[in-house]
Structure 1
């Protein structure tokens, strides 16, 4: 009798699970955006507005923990800036799927990016106003002429460049450091062998 009741309960549970699996909605879009405003309104609510080419699009979440809300980092080569302090190369974060309002950036594509600052990062979404370049002609016309992103000064570039002289000096210092370490190790070895 107990076995029969247990079988009935297990059977009912299996039917409930099967029905819920087969009748559940296949995909539910959780992202809904407020009706887009004018170009001026979109620019006003953005912290950064630029046009650039996506040169890299990578997940910053491990595959094991990836979900629709996982973060994607898109790196851009910036061509023109309308708002914000934008370097020639900049990174923008977005959610990993459209269900979480993530924008699907693709490497090699040009975009007009409207982004918000969140801490030290910039974020774009389906709701931010970001568009593919060929879909943004009206926006770009209304935005007018932007500016070029600032390039590092020649003095900063000279500091970053490695001259042959600095390479030679660094090489000599490394050889001297290695010789000193070798000599110290050898003298310690001699002292241990005498004792």
Structure 2
């Protein structure tokens, strides 16, 4: 009877476990960044700045469900001041898990309690400290910078132009491949690129293709939660072991199988400069 009860529990929970991972992360966005910041600070039980010292996968049997992230705290803006903090976040981007990197300094908006533990997610205003000058200035007691944003310019990140460089390094036209011809190009290992139009991405639009060197890739135009601010976009490249057609109703296009590495190819923030 014990095995029967276990089987019934697995049958009941199975669909919920699958859908929680498959469903894309979707963050509610405030049109007014000042209001968004105030709500994020109000929701958080702890707000601090700290450096990631350790990053450990936890939970699950053979497959981690969360990352336990340990920080050395340098500043505390809300909650009890501590020299070290541990925060959890989902390992799944589709479940709004935040992708921390060891050795990087972050401004963290964490929810939860001291007794039950703290957690954060990609829909909070958690972000690297070098991209949180506006928030840090306000948290340190300055006047609100959200009332009037400085006018800036930068070298814009162009997703399709980046794809053309990967696929057609020489001069000449390099048009996107129509969706109907993608399967044949994959079978023949021909270089190509194609935009993924029919998919809802929490961060930004994507392009998939095969480079002139025969490597499968995906490009993503990463748009932070403060997308209304100018010059904050990045183009990320992911190398894949291969691309396979994904004909599911919700996410048609190409699926990256066996992600090998990720690299920032363009970052508008680096070229930001004030307009005089």
TM-score of the two chains, using structure 1 as the length reference = 0.55
SS at match of 1:99: helix
- Map of 1:91 onto structure 2: 86
Q: CA RMSD in A?
A: 2.2
Report how many aligned residue pairs link the two structures. Answer: 117
- Map of 2:70 onto structure 1: 75
- The Cα shift of 1:62 comes to 5.3
Stretches of 4+ aligned residues off by more than 6 angstroms: none
SS at match of 1:91: strand
- Map of 1:116 onto structure 2: 111
- The Cα shift of 1:29 comes to 5.2
Q: Compare relative contact order (CA 8 Å, sep 6+) and give the higher one, 1 or 2.
A: 1
Distance 1:109 1:145 in 2: 24
Structure 1: give runs of 5+ residues left out of the alignment: 1-26, 147-195
- The Cα shift of 1:134 comes to 0.9
- Map of 1:33 onto structure 2: 27
Higher-strand-fraction structure: 2
Distance 1:104 1:42 in 2: 19
The question of 1:139 aligning with 2:120 is answered: no
SS at match of 1:65: coil
- The Cα shift of 1:71 comes to 1.1
- Map of 1:153 onto structure 2: none
Higher-helix-fraction structure: 1
Larger Rg belongs to: 1
Q: Which of 46, 49, 64 is 1:48 aligned to?
A: 46
